[in-house]
């Protein structure tokens, strides 16, 4: 609106012409109860001049509209370039050297990632280092990173405990009669101490682990000479 007002101020004669044409139209329609009066030769000349001025005014208005459209286009382009420069500036400001993450735990690394916008992935590997601590990183310490940088981190994992080994079987002495514990050296016969047997060998309480060649487990409960 202000642009149109400035244009009208600089084209006073055109403004007057427009007003005059409007006045003529109004006067001719109201005179004598609406009957049109004949226009004199002088009036026709004035109307022609005014029409020419009006055409020029319209041409100037069209040129002004074109200029305004061009200015809007240039403004849009400037805003777009400003947004691009702002984005590049933000990217440059986000750059920083990556610190050494080795020795940190997963929680500490995650806090740094949230603070600086890193995208961190975690993996585990068996190591003698403290379980859960960082043992390597995909981006070397001191390298320049920025918001959105991808960093792979490897955490230490404790080795699996060794499987328990079975104790070796107790060898059976060659000078023991199979089936008894403790060992009973081979003999023609064994009887229980304090019993009525006639030997020739005697034994106290024994566990019968197999066959009972000497008949010491009379009730078959696995224990002889009770």
Q: What is the pLDDT of residues 174-216, one digit of tens each?
A: 688 888 888 889 988 999 988 788 889 999 899 998 889 898 8
Share of the chain above pLDDT 90, in %: 27
Task: Kindly report the pTM of this predicted structure.
Answer: 0.37
- The answer to which of 22-26, 76-80, 129-133 has the lowest mean pLDDT is 22-26
Give residue limits of the domains in the chain: 2-92, 97-157, 174-226
- The answer to which of 91-105, 130-144, 180-194 has the lowest mean pLDDT is 91-105
- Paired sense of beta strands 201-203 and 190-192, if any: parallel
CA angle 142, 146, 149 (to 5 degrees): 95
Band the pLDDT of 147: cuts 50, 70, 90: confident
Of 212, 219, 194, 218, the C-alpha closest to 204 is 194
* More confident site: 68 or 106: 106
The span from the CA of 201 to the CA of 23, in Å, is 156
- Tokens 């997963």 sit on residue: 106
Of 216, 140, 151, 143, the C-alpha closest to 181 is 216
The span from the CA of 164 to the CA of 187, in Å, is 40
- What is the CATH number that goes with domain 97-157? 3.30.10.20
- Tokens 């066959």 sit on residue: 211
* More confident site: 131 or 50: 131
For residue 105, with 0-12 CB atoms within 10 Å meaning exposed, 13-18 middle and 19 or more buried, which class applies?
middle
Band the pLDDT of 33: cuts 50, 70, 90: very low
Share of the chain above pLDDT 70, in %: 74
What per-residue confidence (pLDDT) applies to 129?
Answer: 94
The span from the CA of 171 to the CA of 107, in Å, is 55
What per-residue confidence (pLDDT) applies to 55?
Answer: 82
**pLDDT, mean over the chain:** 79
- The answer to which of 101-115, 117-131, 205-219 has the lowest mean pLDDT is 205-219
What per-residue confidence (pLDDT) applies to 26?
Answer: 46
Tokens at 146, concatenated: 């920025």
Q: Is 151 helix (H, G, I), strand (E, B) or coil?
A: strand
What per-residue confidence (pLDDT) applies to 32?
Answer: 46
């Amino acid at each position: 609106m202000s642009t149109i007002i400035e244009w009208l101020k600089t084209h006073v004669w055109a403004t007057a012409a427009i007003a005059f044409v409007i006045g003529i139209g109004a006067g001719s329609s109201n005179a004598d109860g609406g009957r049109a009066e004949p226009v004199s030769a002088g009036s026709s000349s004035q109307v022609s001049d005014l029409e020419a001025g009006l055409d020029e005014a319209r041409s100037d208005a069209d040129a002004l509209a074109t200029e305004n459209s061009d200015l809007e286009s240039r403004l849009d382009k400037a805003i777009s370039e400003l947004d691009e420069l702002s984005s590049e500036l933000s990217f440059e400001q986000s750059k920083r050297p990556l610190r050494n993450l080795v020795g940190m735990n997963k929680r500490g690394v995650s806090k740094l990632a949230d603070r600086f916008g890193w995208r961190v992935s975690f993996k585990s590997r068996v190591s003698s280092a403290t379980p859960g601590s960082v043992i390597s990183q995909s981006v070397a310490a001191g390298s320049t990173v920025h918001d959105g940088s991808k960093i792979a981190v490897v955490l230490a994992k404790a080795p699996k405990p060794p499987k328990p080994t079975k104790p070796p079987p107790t060898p059976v002495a060659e000078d023991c009669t199979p089936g008894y514990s403790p060992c009973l050296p081979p003999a023609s016969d064994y009887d229980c101490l304090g019993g009525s047997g006639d030997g020739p060998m005697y034994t106290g309480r024994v566990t019968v682990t197999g066959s009972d060649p000497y008949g010491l487990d009379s009730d078959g409960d696995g224990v002889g000479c009770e």
